Structures are given as C-alpha cells and as structure tokens.
Amino acid sequence: MSGLTIALAQVNPCVGDIAGNAALVRARSREAAEAGARVVVFPEMVITGYPIEDLALRESFQRAAEQAVRSLADDLVADGLGDLTVVLGTLGANADGHPTNDAVIMQNGAITARYSKHHLPNYGVFDERRIFAPGTAPCVITVDGRRIGVVICEDIWQDGGPVAAMADANIDLLLVLNGSPFEEGKGRVRTDLARRRAAEVDAPLAYVNMWGGQDDLVFDGHSFIVAADGEWMANSPGFADALLLWELPAAGAAPAQSSVIDFASDDEQVYSAVVTGLRDYLVKNGFGSVVLGVSGGIDSALTAAIAADAVGGANVVGVAMPSEYSSQHSLDDAADLAKRIGADYRVQPIASLVAAFQSQLALTGVAEENLQARVRGVILMAISNREGHMVIAPGNKSELATGYATIYDAGSIGGFAPLKDLDKTRVWDLARWRNARARNLGEVEPIPANSIEKPPSAELRPGQMDQDSLPPYELLDEVLDAYVEHAEGRAELLARGFDEAVVDKVLSLVDRAEWKRRQYPPGPKVTALAFGRDRRLPITSRWREKVE
C-alpha cells in the first residue's frame, strides 16, 4: 500500500454565489488532481458560502444549492476527475426537511456519502441552532483502502459526538471542514485542539478553513495538518488562496512534513484581517473604490492606509473638510497621507455650509459641534452618490464603546467601518506596525508620523482634546476590555485596583452608548469578543453596574 496524497483547498467563497462557488470547487479540484492528489477537501459550506443565516430557510435557495452539487458531480466527471474524491461543505436537509450543515463526498459522479454536522454552535457569532438540525450519524469513507473520517468545525470543539465515536473506528485520517472566523490568538487554540483530537482518533488530522470577509466576519484560512502524535506536518498561510498538499504515508510508514510556514505576528494577522474584511466587503458587494473623510488624525489615516492596501491607493478618495476650528497641521497631515498612499485628495471646507445652517438654527455647544460633524457626513454621502465610491467610516472601538462620536458624522456613516473592533491603542499599534513594514520593505511609510504622535482631537471647538472628555486611552482601553470583553462587573474592576472615578465614568459612558453602537456599519471582528455580532444587548435597559 502506497501513500495517499490529499489536498486542502483553502478558498474564499461568497455567500449566495452558488454558481461561482461551484466553479471555484471545479477549478481547484482540477489543480489538486494535476498535483497528484487523490482526495481534495474544501471548507464548510463552500457551495453556499458561510454563514448563510436565514437564507438556509428559503426553499428556493435549498433547491439551488442541491442542484449545484448534483451538477458539480457531473462536471467533475466531464473534466476527467471522476476518480478524484472531492469532499466539500454545502446545505443539506434531514428526513424531516430541516436544513442541515453537510459534508458531501463525491466519487465518480456520485454522491457516495453525506455527513451532517452534529455540534451546532449557538454562541458568540454563531446561530446554527436557529437554522440547522443536528446530524446523528458519523461518516467514514474509504479511498484506496484507507479509512477517512469526516467531521465539520464545531464537531472538534466539543467533547463527545462524532470524534469520540471515531476513536475506535480505526481510521487512517480525520478530515475537518471549517468555516472558522478569525480571532486574535485563535490559531494557537485551534492547533492545540487539533492535536488533542488527532491523539483521540490516533490518526493525522487535516484542518481546512475558508478565508475571506463576509460582512463583519473574517475567515483567516490557516489550514494545517498534524500527525497522530501531534507533530506539525504542513500548513497554509493566512488570508490567501492556498492548495496544501500532503501525503498520508502507507500504513506503518512515518509521515513526512511538506510545507511548514511560521504564523505571522499578531499585529500582522489583525492588519491582514482588517484589509481582507474591507476588500471582500467591497468586492463581494460590487464596489471598486471608497471615499472617506481625512482629518489628519490617526483613525482616518490608518483607515485610508488599510483601504489603499485593500483596493489600491488610486481607488481611495480622501476628503479633507476643514472647519474654522481645524488646524493647519491637520490639513497638512491629511494632504501628506493622501500623497503617501496615492489617494485622490480633495478639500471641501465646511464653514459656509455650517454658516448656512446656523443662520436658520443658531446652535451652540454640543449641538453646534455635532452640526459640523454631520455636514461632513452629508458631503461624503453626496460624493458617494455622485461617483459611486462606497463611504467607509473611520470610527474606532474605544469611541464607539463610550459614545464619544457624533452619530451620522463622517466617522460613523457608510457601508463599512474597518476599525470598528479595534480599540484606540490598537489603532496606534497597527499604524506603527504598518509603517515599520514599509520601512523594512524600503517603501514609503503610508501614515504621517505626525498623525501617530500628536494628541487626538475632534477639533469641533477651539483647543478640544479627547483627553478632556475621556480617561487616557491606555487606561480607558484596559477598563473597556475588562468591562465589555470579559463582562467584569464594577466590583471586580475596583478589586483589581482601577480608580473608582475612572471606572464609574467609563461604565456610565458604555451603559448609555448601546444605541450608538447599533447604528454603526459592520466592521471586521478581530478580537475574541467584539461589538457587532458577538454581544447581543438590549438597547433599552436600565441595568447599571451600581444597582448591585
């Protein structure tokens, strides 16, 4: 008995693009066969894209997915690939007609096996018990005399179930199809888990994950293979197409490493996730360019740099919209940024527009500040309407969490908010990381040093500084992380030694900002627990930590 070459096809499907996704499977199957693979494995739900949410409940969608799978089996035979075993994820249905999250195995034009995911995640960003019925049977297929188990994503995250059932099934390989969203640090968690499961079934484990952006989720790829003893056999890079080949050795023979790549740093992974999230939101929705307000500050500078990395600087329109309170250095820094990234730079002063409103409304104080901010929002939406660029919002997580933002301003309007799940200190870190990468590559640093170094200000009144209204960002972000991400209460925060006044300030801001958060466009989820989808909190709530 000789070795069996398997291929993990790390691809980027699009939700709802059933024909396009099937074509992707067909093309990659050919590549895999040409590279000598006997088995090619695609990610969870590759035919429909993932997550499809309530599209799963639509009968016409169910039928379209099933027809695509049947046609694909025929097409593979027509391509001379009947002999290749293709394992892919798609939408199925159980005997009662309830949707299931399936793996389908195609061999010689037939669907020779079908597996329905047992463990349906229903926490964090996942809602699978809402739409899918769980499977109950395990799945072991045979290729060239080798026994191969097939499971899907959450099945390896829960003890028991189909993996435990395979411990005594004498399998030679375990395939895991995944739609596993990126979270910072998740790569290590996944690989530790995979090693445990490989030991449990006493066989190598091949983990194939999709990559790409889908609304506020980003899938990172990072497919890999570990041996039964946990040894690292092969892996794919993150955030890129990849076809990972590895040979399952003949029975009794020792496995050999094929491709092994180091994980990128956390900053690089997060940056890649944000670029991927924005690029796919644009591409998958048919946009080729973006427009944003550039203030000379760090948030818009990093957002513009990310946009330039996503779709090219020539497809970024940066609009400086100075008011009477804007400083010259702000305009200079905005112009410098645009030049560095090759953006289309424009200046639209707002003074006469604000004056027109003021002649009718005579606003003062915060109302006047917000008016300036919203006039900028109108300008961006107008340019978007006229020229077809999508507006992107540079608001960051710290200001979203605390409500330190004007709703419907240039920081919050638009289709996508790349920094939505990055706190302010992380924004600075990523800006420094991006510039350092440019230096290392001998390229122009995209972000002006001034934008990184100067104290942040909304410049909506003379001499206004963020730190007049908020605790220092380093402290603020630490309290936010504990209160929002880790659900620590006031008592726990005080016990940890945070200053009571700071804690009460931050908690009261967060408790009142829920409505603003709901009005933000989606942004890529990059931390373990982000706003957006992970937390579901009532907008109307009188719960305050002090109640206790």
Stretch 477-506 residues interacting with a copy of itself (CB under 8 A): 487, 489-492
370 is in an annotated binding site: yes
Contact indicator for 287, 390 with CB cutoff of 8 Å: yes
Stretch 341-360 residues interacting with a copy of itself (CB under 8 A): 348-349, 352-353, 355-357, 359-360
Cβ-based nearer residue to a copy of itself, 437 or 461: 461
545 is in an annotated binding site: no
Beta-carbon contacts of 407 under 8 Å, excluding residues fewer than 6 positions away, are 516, 519
Q: Is 117 labeled as catalytic in the residue annotation?
A: yes
Catalytic pick among 14, 128, 139, 153:
153
Shortest reach from residue 496's CB to a copy of itself, in Å: 14
* Residue 192: other Cβ atoms inside 10 A: 11
Closest CA to 227 of 249, 211, 208, 259: 249
Q: Which of 2, 67, 108, 142 binds a copy of itself (CB under 8 A)?
A: 67
The residue type at 439: R
Cβ-based nearer residue to a copy of itself, 56 or 76: 56
Q: Report the DSSP pairing between strands 173-178 and 205-209.
A: parallel
Q: Which of 361, 436, 449, 465 binds a copy of itself (CB under 8 A)?
A: 361
324: Cα within 13 Å, side-chain hemisphere? 9
525 is in an annotated binding site: no
Helices marked H in 122-265 — which ranges?
Answer: 128-131, 154-157, 162-165, 186-201
* Residue 10: other Cβ atoms inside 10 A: 31
Stretch 183-222 residues interacting with a copy of itself (CB under 8 A): 213-215
297 is in an annotated binding site: yes
Q: Which of 378, 502, 513, 528 binds a copy of itself (CB under 8 A)?
A: 378
Cβ-based nearer residue to a copy of itself, 165 or 351: 351
Tell me, letter by letter, the H, E, C secondary structure of 300-321: HHHHHHHHHHHHCHHHEEEEEC
Shortest reach from residue 254's CB to a copy of itself, in Å: 43
- 377 binds a copy of itself per the rule CB under 8 A: yes
- 328 binds a copy of itself per the rule CB under 8 A: no
Cβ-based nearer residue to a copy of itself, 145 or 538: 538
Q: Is 139 labeled as catalytic in the residue annotation?
A: no
298 is in an annotated binding site: yes
Cβ-based nearer residue to a copy of itself, 80 or 388: 388
- 515 binds a copy of itself per the rule CB under 8 A: yes
CA 32 to chain centre: 27
Shortest reach from residue 235's CB to a copy of itself, in Å: 28
Q: 23 to each of 47, 69, 139, 178, 243, how far by Cα in Å?
A: 9, 11, 26, 19, 16
Distance CA 210, CA 179 (A): 6
3-state secondary structure of 137: coil
Stretch 101-160 residues interacting with a copy of itself (CB under 8 A): 122-123, 127, 129-130
Q: Which of 173, 308, 375, 422 binds a copy of itself (CB under 8 A)?
A: 375
541 is in an annotated binding site: no
505 is in an annotated binding site: no
List residues bridging with 319 in a β-sheet.
293, 346
225 is in an annotated binding site: no
523 is in an annotated binding site: no
- 363 binds a copy of itself per the rule CB under 8 A: yes
Q: 10 to each of 92, 300, 313, 506, how far by Cα in Å?
A: 22, 32, 28, 42
Give me the 383-422 binding string for a copy of itself, x by CB under 8 A, dash otherwise.
Answer: x-xx--------------------xx----x-x-------
Shortest reach from residue 435's CB to a copy of itself, in Å: 31
Contact indicator for 523, 416 with CB cutoff of 8 Å: yes
Q: Is 44 labeled as catalytic in the residue annotation?
A: yes
Q: Which of 57, 251, 260, 436 binds a copy of itself (CB under 8 A)?
A: 57
Mark 104-133 as b/e (b = at least 16 C-beta within 10 Å): bbbbebeeebbbbbbbbeeeebbbbeebbb
Could you say which DSSP state residue 140 is in? E
Shortest reach from residue 369's CB to a copy of itself, in Å: 9
- 259 binds a copy of itself per the rule CB under 8 A: no
Distance CA 319, CA 341 (A): 14
Stretch 285-324 residues interacting with a copy of itself (CB under 8 A): 285
Cβ-based nearer residue to a copy of itself, 191 or 214: 214
Q: Which of 193, 240, 245, 381 binds a copy of itself (CB under 8 A)?
A: 381
299 is in an annotated binding site: yes
How many residues contact a copy of itself, by CB under 8 A?
Answer: 86
3-state secondary structure of 266: helix
Stretch 517-546 residues interacting with a copy of itself (CB under 8 A): 518-519, 521-522, 535-545
443: Cα within 13 Å, side-chain hemisphere? 12
Number of H helices, E strands in the chain: 19, 18
In the structure encoding, which two tokens stand for residue 93, read together?
């249905």
Catalytic pick among 14, 44, 139, 369:
44
Distance CA 207, CA 41 (A): 9
Stretch 70-99 residues interacting with a copy of itself (CB under 8 A): none
Residues annotated as binding site? 123, 180, 186, 293-300, 370, 399, 516
Task: Return the active site residues.
Answer: 44, 117, 153
Residues annotated as binding site for ATP? 293-300
